[in-house]
Structure 1
């Protein structure tokens, strides 16, 4: 029974097929591009922790992300978080997945909450909306480092949305995990390297300074 519940929870954050992911990676293999980071004096960066909610922290790998975020929180101007609420009928209709609607499972990890300055609720893979973009711009944020779960679903959607919105976007490779397992996490990292740049998919210790 527990295994079935975990598998249903994993559906949302493992929506990309591994075969399709690896095929796309092969298309992007080639010469490494040069990074053009925003100068430190002009960078005001936040850490955006994606969906670190009780109902998604179902594996040791996902649970291990939370203490890393807390440990590195002081390196950023602020830590913001997203919370997923299952409101889109497609999750039930197409995936037969009906969890994360309300209650304790939708709450942020209590370990994470003390370091979070702002929280944004969403009914979709990505939180990138006019409202979020307006807050980012009003606060003078230039750079967003994305972490959380799942690498192959909501983390990827968030990073690509921020990239499209013209923010300097990093994905913290050791600050992400997938409830689908390490294979999905690694495949998603490869996709992200191709789509936002290898130099922008790096570990916490490799990130440039995020505070002005």
Structure 2
């Protein structure tokens, strides 16, 4: 009998991604992380860092999130990130963008990855799709994710995610109220 091991991935909840359109998700994520950690579950935070002449700068003309305080995890989550299993710094969309994220998942033996954060249509979406392609079981936590571009972009991200990983993999925090034990 195979034992599933779960991790909660909190994607890019950083000062530079928080706007009026995404701010509402922060207390939802704080509550989820507190409950997940209290249940003994593993939590990974990601932080995105832009760099000079990145594809984001060259192709999208987006030059944000290069330095603190934009790159800092929001103050409400910073103490929880300090207690996390890991904080992965990245230069692309996904937790799995480089070897660090893939190695961590392999080392810890995680099979299920519960993903929340900012932005649903990009970094969150790419993380769940990459998890799917790595033969993990991804879960998008819809009410703990948001887009700084607005609700309609969040909804578009959820729709595309459903097409990629299956409608049954889109859940809410109430669906995991019992919290899957990590051990």
Please say whether Structure 1 and Structure 2 have the same fold, judged by a TM-score greater than 0.5. yes
Q: Distance in 2 between matches of 1:209 and 1:99?
A: 35
Q: Distance in 2 between matches of 1:95 and 1:183?
A: 20
Preserved contact between residue 22 and residue 150 of structure 2 (Cα < 8 Å): no
1:78 shift after superposition: 2.0
Larger-gyration structure (1/2) = 1
Q: Distance in 2 between matches of 1:145 and 1:93?
A: 32
Q: 1:70 aligns to what? A: 30
| Residue 120 (structure 1) aligned with residue 66 (structure 2) | no
Q: Distance in 1 between matches of 2:163 and 2:54?
A: 31
Q: 1:21 aligns to what? A: none
| Residue 210 (structure 1) aligned with residue 172 (structure 2) | no
| Residue 85 (structure 1) aligned with residue 54 (structure 2) | no
Preserved contact between residue 88 and residue 100 of structure 2 (Cα < 8 Å): no
Q: 1:198 aligns to what? A: 167
Please show how residues 169-188 of structure 1 align to structure 2 within 5 Å. 169-188=138-157
- Find the residue that maps to 1:48 and give its secondary structure: strand
Q: 2:112 aligns to what? A: 143
1:140 shift after superposition: 2.0
Q: TM-score, normalised by structure 2?
A: 0.87
1:107 shift after superposition: 0.4
Q: 1:160 aligns to what? A: 129
Match of 2:18 among 53, 57, 77: 57
Q: Distance in 1 between matches of 2:111 and 2:80?
A: 20
Q: 1:42 aligns to what? A: 3
- Find the residue that maps to 1:42 and give its secondary structure: coil
